[in-house]
Amino acid sequence: MVKRFHPDSGSPEANADKFHLIEEAYRKLQNKFASDRWRANEGAGEYGLYYQEKTEIEEFDIKHTAPQHRQYLSYGGYGMGTPQQREKQFQKYRAQKAIENVHNHRISNISQGKEEGLIHKDKREAQKIKLRSEMDRLVEDLIQESMSRGEFDNLAGTGKPLKHQASNPYVDFVTHKMNQVLIDNGFTPEWITLQKEISEDTKHLRESLARYRTELGHLPLDNDDNNNWNEVLVKHEDMVKKLNAKIDKYNLLVPLLEKQKLHILLKRESENILKSGKTRYDVRNQMHVPRIKVGEDHRSDFLSIFGSFYLW
């Protein structure tokens, strides 16, 4: 290349600029080769005439020195005492750390869920308001159009009060209509008549037990009174069975669940009558008190008449 581009070579490709570039590149390569040989021979001269000794410099590396900020290298430097004690302490520390991480994770999920829920809720509420307002406007427009066309003129019942119709929202339409037809024709639904019969039979049962109670003494009953009362209960068992049968039929027919009735328990009614009912002693006292009052009234009337004669 030197012969080709040298300006004095007489070659047709002779060029002084290219020759200088080639010369500069050659000198840079020579300098690089010399520096490589210097590093390889650790300071030897170019021709080996002298040798420069290299002094070793002691370098401290933190990776190979013992860290001074912790006492032990095992278990992350956590814990004190023997290796077994430090292992137990480290296990407790890991468990506590895991619980904290789980707690923080749950809190982050809950807070994120609440924020997203509030966003969705706000969107739904805004949509509801929008739909409601649109529906109101649509209904209002339809009403105004009907009024302008005169469709609300000459309606049945114009200027008259609305008819009061007691309707139960929990009863189906067919049952409501059937009851209405029966009532209009003077008939009463069966469950209403049963309700009336149950009330009357219950009242009759309690009055009958109270009447028999007046023949007994105070609690606790003696043997004779106890036997008499048991006979009274046996007499009323048939009445209670018929009454409970009516209650079962009534519960099947009544349209409302809250209107259903419980069975009449003869034992419970007996206990209530024995505790609160009047005894034979109470009846005797009530029979004697009016007689005394009547005698006193007659005596006072006689004295008043006698006094009036005396004064006259």
For 42-64, write each residue's pLDDT tens digit. 555 555 555 555 566 666 555 55
The answer to whether the pTM exceeds 0.75 is no
| Per-residue pLDDT at 210 | 92
35: domain range? 1-57
**Contact (CB, 8 A) for 274 and 213:** yes
Of 26, 57, 88, the one marking the end of a domain is 57
124 lies in a domain?
A: yes
Q: Can you read off the two tokens belonging to residue 164?
A: 């009061």
5 lies in a domain?
A: yes
156 lies in a domain?
A: no
Q: Does residue 101 share a domain with residue 185? A: no
Q: Does residue 210 share a domain with residue 298? A: yes
Q: Can you read off the two tokens belonging to residue 163?
A: 């008819």
Which of these, 269, 151, 297, lies nearest to 207 by C-alpha position?
269
| C-alpha distance across the termini of the chain, in Å | 182
| Per-residue pLDDT at 306 | 39
**Contact (CB, 8 A) for 188 and 182:** yes
Q: Which residue has the tokens 């969705």?
A: 120
Q: Can you read off the two tokens belonging to residue 18?
A: 């290219």
**Close Cβ partners of 259 (under 8 Å, ≥ 6 residues apart):** 195
Q: Can you read off the two tokens belonging to residue 85?
A: 């004690």
Q: Which residue has the tokens 């008449």?
A: 305
Q: Can you read off the two tokens belonging to residue 177?
A: 């209509």
* Rounded Cα gap, residues 224 and 267, in angstroms: 19
Cα distances from 283 to residues 43, 229, 231, 269, 275, in angstroms, run 141, 18, 22, 21, 15
299 lies in a domain?
A: yes
Of 85, 117, 135, the one marking the end of a domain is 135
187 lies in a domain?
A: yes
- Counting residues of the chain whose pLDDT is more than 70, the rounded percentage is 71
Q: Does residue 81 share a domain with residue 36? A: no
**Could you tell me if residue 75 is left (phi over 0), alpha (psi between -120 and 50 degrees) or otherwise beta?**
left
Q: What is the gyration radius of the CA atoms in the chain, in angstroms?
A: 58
157 lies in a domain?
A: no
Q: Does residue 185 share a domain with residue 125? A: no
66 lies in a domain?
A: no
Q: Does residue 252 share a domain with residue 206? A: yes
Q: Can you read off the two tokens belonging to residue 193?
A: 């008549």
If one counts the domains in the chain, the total is 3
143 lies in a domain?
A: no
| Per-residue pLDDT at 138 | 83
Q: Does residue 80 share a domain with residue 26? A: no
Q: Does residue 47 share a domain with residue 80? A: no
Q: Does residue 39 share a domain with residue 105? A: no
* Rounded Cα gap, residues 41 and 186, in angstroms: 132
Which residue stretches of the chain have pLDDT < 50?
Answer: 290-300, 302-312
Q: Does residue 220 share a domain with residue 117? A: no
Tens-digit pLDDT profile for residues 95-127: 888 888 888 888 877 776 666 666 666 666 666
Q: Does residue 290 share a domain with residue 193? A: yes
Q: Does residue 197 share a domain with residue 262? A: yes
Q: Does residue 300 share a domain with residue 189? A: yes
